[in-house]
């Protein structure tokens, strides 16, 4: 997947660390290596982060490693599942996603919303207006509730 990252006039960068900082601050880059080749040529090797869910309240996204991406969802991310949970529950949502993606890939493709209600617990919503109310599931075992 290509992601256009605009770096103003690469000539202005004298050090590789400046290029690395600029790319990493986009929120889309997991890691980057820069090699400078004279005269005026740079080689950039980078890994792009892949969003898996939208964290709606924070207007951020969760990536495939369970880390928050400091980027706002765009129109092309509209099909990603939406997460409505407190920040302290995000790791649990990621563990659930990781578990369900390895066992029930078809379920994951139909997943639209993950919610955590303070009074009623976990709720999953799938395509076709199907809601699965899990209630209060012990920490880090939400994936067991859907197996």
pTM of the complete model: 0.72
**DSSP letter, residue 26:** T
Is it true that the peptide bond before 66 is cis, omega within 30 degrees of 0? no
Tell me, letter by letter, the H, E, C secondary structure of 47-65: EECCEEEEECCCCEEEECC
- How many C-beta atoms surround the C-beta of residue 88 within 10 A? 9
Per-residue pLDDT of 16-59, as tens digits, reads 777 788 888 888 999 888 887 777 677 888 899 999 999 998 88
- The per-residue b/e assignment along 5-30, b for 16 or more CB within 10 angstroms, e otherwise, is eeeeeeeebeebeebbebbeebebbe
Per-residue pLDDT of 128-138, as tens digits, reads 889 989 888 76
Pairing of strands 82-84, 111-117: parallel
Strand partners, 126: 111, 130
Q: Which helix (H) or strand (E) is 82 found in, with range?
A: strand 82-84
Per-residue pLDDT of 67-106, as tens digits, reads 999 898 999 999 999 999 988 889 888 988 888 887 777 8
């Amino acid at each position: 997947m290509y992601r256009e990252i605009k770096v103003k006039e690469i000539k202005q960068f004298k050090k590789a660390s400046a290029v690395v900082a600029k790319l990493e601050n986009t929120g889309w880059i997991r890691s980057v290596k820069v090699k400078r080749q004279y005269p005026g040529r740079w080689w950039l090797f980078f890994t792009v982060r892949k969003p898996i869910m939208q964290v709606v309240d924070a207007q951020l996204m969760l990536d495939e490693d369970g880390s928050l991406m400091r980027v706002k969802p765009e129109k092309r991310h509209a099909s990603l599942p939406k997460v409505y949970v407190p920040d302290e529950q995000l790791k649990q949502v990621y563990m659930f996603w990781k578990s369900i993606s390895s066992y029930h890939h078809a379920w994951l493709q139909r997943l639209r919303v993950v919610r955590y209600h303070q009074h009623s617990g976990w709720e999953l919503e799938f395509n076709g207006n199907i809601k699965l109310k899990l209630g209060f599931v012990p920490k880090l075992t939400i994936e067991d509730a859907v197996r």
